[in-house]
Amino acid sequence: MRDSFEEFQSRKHSAKVELLKALRRFCSRRADVVIVPSRYLAAAIAHWGVPATKTKIVYNAVDSVRLTPASVPLSAKIKLITVGRLIPLKRIDSLIGLLPKCPDTGLVIVGDGPERERLQDLVCELGLEASVYFAGKKSKEETLALMAACDLFVLNSTHEAFPHVALEAMSVGLPVIATAVGGTPEVVRDGKNGALIAPNASGALFGVIANLCSSATERERLVAGAKRTVEWFR
């Protein structure tokens, strides 16, 4: 997938895809209630002609968990983690590209997808084999255990409808760095439980990572805010 959600809505596609989009609009308009997991998606379906009176927002819930951190084969002092399908819009390549400027910082990548080989090649080109761990596709429990072994969660996407994975990271006590796209600002509050940056802003992403990596006090403050957020979504 190379189109963002917004691009998919606005661009013309094949006749088959356009027919499916028309059917989606037709069914949504005729439904008694349309349930969506974020205000962002509620606004999106309003453009399909679905009245606000028929739209109900039900956020995905998350539980606070206590678990044993997984073993991560990285010796770095600070460990970042990102989770998701390895596709271009996740912008994991940009995150990898920042690591040479982040001393004693490693990255755990959970997920699989068509970008994996290219990302692995990039890691080799940058000489980061000892700093990046490709964990592959994991179960929810395995993913949470890997999160618990890390210090910061990073979501560098150019699109997110509702980043439930960010809530899961908060549930294990991680501050979240994320791009301010889609429904993400409904979960991540800049300076409260994490940090929000503009999409495709590598300089800003580096600045936030560098700041949080160097300040355990700031990480702990954001973790406290993350715990309050998780309680709200329970």
Per-residue pLDDT of 151-207, as tens digits, reads 999 999 998 888 899 999 999 999 999 999 988 999 999 999 999 999 999 999 999
What is the model's pLDDT at position 76?
A: 96
Q: Does the residue 71 lie in any domain?
A: no
Please name which of 52, 49, 150, 40 lies closest in space to residue 106, comparing C-alpha atoms.
Answer: 150
Q: What is the DSSP string of 52-91?
A: GGGEEE-PPP------PPPP-S---SEEEEEES--SGGG-
| 45 & 85 share domain | no
| 94 & 179 share domain | yes
CA–CA distance, 36 with 133 (Å, rounded to integer): 34
| 83 & 170 share domain | yes
What is the model's pLDDT at position 37?
A: 77
| 44 & 89 share domain | no
Residue 209 has pLDDT above 50, yes or no: yes
Q: Does the residue 104 lie in any domain?
A: yes
| 118 & 148 share domain | yes
| 48 & 136 share domain | no
Q: Does the residue 67 lie in any domain?
A: no
How many residues are there in the chain? 234
What is the model's pLDDT at position 189?
A: 93
| 88 & 190 share domain | yes
Give the CATH number of the domain where residue 196 resides. Answer: 3.40.50.2000
Rounded average pLDDT over 2-15:
67
Please name which of 203, 187, 133 lies closest in space to residue 195, comparing C-alpha atoms.
Answer: 187
pTM of the model: 0.82
Q: What is the DSSP string of 82-140?
A: EES--SGGG-HHHHHHHGGGSTTEEEEEE---TTHHHHHHHHHHTT-TTTEEEEES--H
| 24 & 115 share domain | no
- Which residue pairs from 47-54 have beta carbons closer than 8 angstroms and sit at least 24 positions apart in sequence? 47/9, 48/24, 49/25
113-153 residue pLDDT tens: 999 999 999 999 999 999 999 999 999 999 999 999 999 99
Residue 1 has pLDDT above 50, yes or no: no
What is the model's pLDDT at position 56?
A: 83
| 201 & 95 share domain | yes
Range of the domain at 39: 5-57
* Between residues 8 and 11, the one the model is more confident about: 11
CA–CA distance, 58 with 37 (Å, rounded to integer): 5
Residue 2 has pLDDT above 60, yes or no: no
Q: Does the residue 66 lie in any domain?
A: no
Q: Does the residue 65 lie in any domain?
A: no
CA–CA distance, 44 with 40 (Å, rounded to integer): 6
| 34 & 110 share domain | no
Domains: count for the chain:
2
How many Cα neighbours within 13 Å face the side chain of 222?
A: 26
Region of 200 (left: φ > 0; alpha: ψ -120 to 50; beta: rest) is left
21-57 residue pLDDT tens: 788 888 888 888 888 877 778 888 888 888 888 888 7
| 99 & 168 share domain | yes
Q: Does the residue 228 lie in any domain?
A: yes
215-234 residue pLDDT tens: 999 999 999 999 999 888 77
Residue 5 has pLDDT above 80, yes or no: no
What is the model's pLDDT at position 121?
A: 98
Q: Does the residue 197 lie in any domain?
A: yes
What is the model's pLDDT at position 181?
A: 94
| 194 & 109 share domain | yes
Q: Does the residue 73 lie in any domain?
A: no
